[in-house]
Amino acid sequence: MIILLSKSSLHDNYSSWLRRLNPGIHLSNAYTKSEPSLKKLLLRCSGIILTGGADINPSRYGKSIEINRCDGIDDKRDTLELELIDAAIKSKIPLLAICRGLQAVNIYFKGSLIVDIPDEVGIKIKHRNKTDITHEITVAKDSYLFQYGQAIKYRVNSSHHQAIGRIGGSLIPVAWSDDGLVEAVQLKKESSHFLMGVQWHPERMELSHNMSGSIGRAFLQKAAAFRS
C-alpha cells in the first residue's frame, strides 16, 4: 500500500505515525517528484496525506493584500497540494488533511482563511506557542469523528495562527474550539469519498488518543480498501 504525503522527509512524525499504524506501509514524498512521476504515483497510491507547514499564499483565497502577515509562502507547495486535492476528489482517493492541509482543502472548495487568529479572533484560546499547546474541542455527534471516538469533548494539540474563515462548498464543519473556530471538516453526507481534515496534529499525539490513532486507522482502512 502506497501513501503519498504532500511534503515529508519520510523520517518525520508523519512517517513514524503511519509506520506505527502499519509497519509494512510504503510512503512517498510528492514534493520532490517530477510531474510524470507524480502522475504515475497517483495511479498507484492508496491514499494521500496533506501535511502541516507554513502559510498558504493569501492570494489563493482573495486576500493578497495580507501577504505580509503570512509566513513561509511556498507557491510550489500551494500548487502541488491543490492539485493533489483535485486528483483525490476526481478519483475518490482517500484523503487526510492535517493542519495546513485542512486549510488547503477549504481553499480548494472556495473557502477562506482567518489570516491571524490573535488579531482577528482574539486570545480567549491560545492556538500556537513555541511548542505544542493543547485546548478542548467539541465534536459533532453526527460526524465520522464521533464514530471513531464515541465522545464529543477532547483535548487536542495545537500549533497554528491561521484557521478556516468562510467554510468551503461541499464541506461541513464537524469540530470546533471553544472560541468558535472550525477544527475539523468532512465532505457533505451524500459523498462516499473519505475526506477528513483536522486542524490539530494527530501524528504528534499518542496512538491511544482517539483523535490520533482512530483517525489514522480509519484513513488506512479506507486506503487499503481503495485499491483492493
Give the residue numbers annotated as catalytic, written as ranges: 99, 201, 203
Q: What is the number of other CB atoms lying within 10 angstroms of the CB of residue 205?
A: 22
DSSP tag of 122: -
**Burial state string for 7-40 with b = 16 or more CB within 10 A and e = fewer than 16:** bbeeeebbbebbeebbeebebbbbbebeeeebee
**Burial state string for 168-180 with b = 16 or more CB within 10 A and e = fewer than 16:** bebbebbbbbeee
> 127: buried, middle or exposed (CB in 10 Å: 19+, 13-18, 0-12)?
buried
Q: Are 175 and 74 in contact (CB under 8 A)?
A: no
Instruction: Return the closest-CA partner of residue 128 out of 114, 110, 140, 138.
Output: 114
Instruction: Return the closest-CA partner of residue 96 out of 7, 225, 220.
Output: 220
Q: How far is CA 106 from the centre of its chain?
A: 10
Cβ neighbours of residue 27 closer than 8 Å, sequence gap 6 or more:
2, 3, 5, 8, 10, 15, 18, 19
